[in-house]
């Protein structure tokens, strides 16, 4: 539990959130961030005590125990920070810990950046309340922006606070939980100001490669299923990235808004057809149907893929070249700041 003056502590959280999560000139944004973070942190319970109690369900006990294994593997094999993160637990009554907003202009594939004098620029805004996130999204829509809200299972304070395990990290199987833990700890190991594309792809590569290695050691019988999933996921991502490049090239052409709108719809319809063809190759596998049906197709949805995944293959290749020497991997990017350093996300 957090003790002491919440007023003084809130100030430190406001500064932290402006540097790590995202930012907005509106003070209300910082207040909701500080309030949401403080509320979450105040609910933490040490997992060492929880596992000794009889308050956990069998499933939750097994999940938290697995996170202990994941965390141990993270600092022993992946050389990620060994600190108090993921040594406590918070049970939430919602399906996401935060809701992240990505917005683009109507005929652009680049995320709209939000910048601050001290903390720099970010490609998305983070809200701890879904209704607040939806209100922010409506503001973008009134400006004719494409906007997408992403429910997030976790977030990182970059090691400034001991991030807890949250129940939203258990919405998928244990492989997805491992990816989230490795991803968030990856942010703690290396983070570049003003570069969401680097930070998210760097952490995503650690999440994917780390999970593969963890399964190989701890759940070898699950490794094939995970590799098959990752293979299909990358076929899906590459299809989306291809569409992003097509849209980016199309938007550069000087033409009337009517022609831009017609061309935009045409390219998105081509994407739907490509996905239909891809599913045929997968014998009808529908695992990515929800991506198309839950929210309307727009630039912002594709921009998310660019931010999180476009640069992942380069990081993964480098890790393989280093024979999965993670310490060497981190030092390489720490020293070579000009590599993978584009502020563009697509």
In this predicted structure, what is the pLDDT of residue 117?
Answer: 57
d(CA 123, CA 277): 32
Which of 156, 132, 152, 139 has the alpha carbon at shortest distance from 103?
139
CA distance 151 to 97: 8
Helix (H) or strand (E) run with residue 282 in it:
none
Residue-level pLDDT at 124: 86
What is the pLDDT, as a whole number, of residue 2?
A: 35
Give me the residue label for tokens 């069998």: 58
Q: What is 72-98 written as a DSSP string?
A: HHHHHTS----SSTTSEEE--SSS-SE
What CA–CA distance (Å, rounded) separates 330 from 79? 9
Predicted local distance difference test score (pLDDT) of residue 22 = 43
In a domain, 275, yes or no: yes
Copy the structure tokens of residue 183.
């991803």
Question: Residue 345: is it exposed, middle or buried by C-beta count within 10 angstroms (0-12/13-18/19+)?
Answer: buried
Whether 124 is covered by a domain: the verdict is no
Q: How many residues does the chain have?
A: 346
In a domain, 315, yes or no: no
Residue 201: HSE in the Cβ half-sphere, 13 Å Cα cutoff: 28
pLDDT for residue 118: 56
- Whether residue 104 lies inside any domain: the answer is no
Query: According to the model, what pLDDT value does residue 159 have?
Result: 83
Q: Does 262 reside within a domain?
A: yes
Tokens matching residue 266: 């045409």
Q: What pLDDT is recorded for position 31?
A: 80
Number of domains in the chain: 1
Domain assignment of residue 242, given as a range: 226-309
Q: Residue 296 domain-assigned?
A: yes
Tell me, what's the pLDDT at 282?
97
Phi/psi for 233 (5° steps) reads -60, -40
Judge whether 340 lies within some domain: no
Q: Is 256 left (phi over 0), alpha (psi -120 to 50) or beta?
A: beta
Instruction: Kindly give the confidence (pLDDT) of every residue in the chain, 346 residues in length, as a single tens digit, with 9 standing for 90 and above.
Output: 333 333 334 444 444 554 444 444 567 777 888 889 889 999 999 999 999 999 999 999 999 999 999 999 999 999 999 999 999 999 999 999 999 999 999 999 999 987 755 556 778 889 999 999 999 999 999 999 999 999 999 988 888 889 999 999 998 899 999 999 999 999 999 998 888 889 999 999 999 999 999 999 999 999 999 999 999 999 999 999 999 999 999 999 999 999 999 999 999 999 999 999 999 999 999 999 999 998 889 999 999 999 899 999 999 999 999 999 999 999 999 998 876 654 443 3
As a whole number of angstroms, the distance between CA 307 and CA 195 comes to: 9
Q: Enter the tokens of residue 110.
A: 């680049």
In a domain, 236, yes or no: yes
Mapped onto helix, strand or coil, the DSSP state of residue 111 is strand
């Amino acid at each position: 539990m957090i003790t002491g003056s919440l007023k003084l502590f809130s100030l430190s959280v406001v500064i932290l959130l402006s540097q790590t999560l995202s930012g907005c000139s509106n003070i209300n944004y910082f207040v909701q961030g500080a309030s949401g973070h403080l509320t979450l942190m105040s609910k933490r319970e040490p997992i060492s005590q929880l596992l000794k109690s009889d308050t956990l369900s069998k499933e939750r006990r097994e999940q938290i125990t697995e996170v202990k294994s994941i965390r141990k593997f993270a600092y022993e094999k992946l050389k990620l920070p060994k600190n108090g993160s993921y040594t406590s637990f918070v049970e939430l009554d919602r399906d996401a810990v935060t809701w992240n907003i990505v917005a683009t202009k109507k005929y652009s594939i680049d995320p709209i950046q939000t910048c601050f004098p001290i903390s720099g620029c970010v490609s998305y805004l983070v809200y701890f309340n879904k209704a607040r996130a939806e209100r922010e999204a409506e503001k973008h829509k009134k400006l004719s922006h494409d906007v997408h809200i992403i429910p997030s299972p976790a977030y990182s304070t970059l090691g400034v606070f001991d991030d807890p395990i949250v129940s939203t990290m258990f919405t998928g199987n244990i492989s997805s939980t491992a990816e989230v833990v490795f991803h968030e700890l990856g942010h703690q190991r290396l983070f570049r100001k003003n570069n969401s594309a680097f930070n998210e792809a760097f952490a995503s590569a650690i999440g994917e490669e780390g999970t593969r290695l963890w399964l190989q050691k701890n759940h070898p019988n699950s490794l094939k299923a995970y590799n098959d999933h990752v293979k299909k996921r990358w076929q899906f991502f590459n299809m989306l990235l291809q569409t992003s490049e097509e849209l980016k090239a199309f938007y550069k052409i000087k033409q009337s808004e009517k022609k831009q709108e017609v061309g935009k719809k045409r390219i998105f319809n081509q994407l739907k057809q490509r996905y239909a063809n891809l599913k045929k190759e997968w014998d009808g596998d529908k695992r990515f149907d929800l991506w198309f049906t839950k929210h309307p197709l727009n630039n912002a949805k594709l921009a998310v893929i660019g931010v999180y995944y476009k640069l992942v293959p380069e990081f993964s290749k480098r890790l393989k070249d280093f024979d999965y020497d993670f310490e060497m991997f981190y030092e390489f990017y720490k020293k070579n700041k000009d590599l993978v350093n584009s502020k563009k996300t697509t």
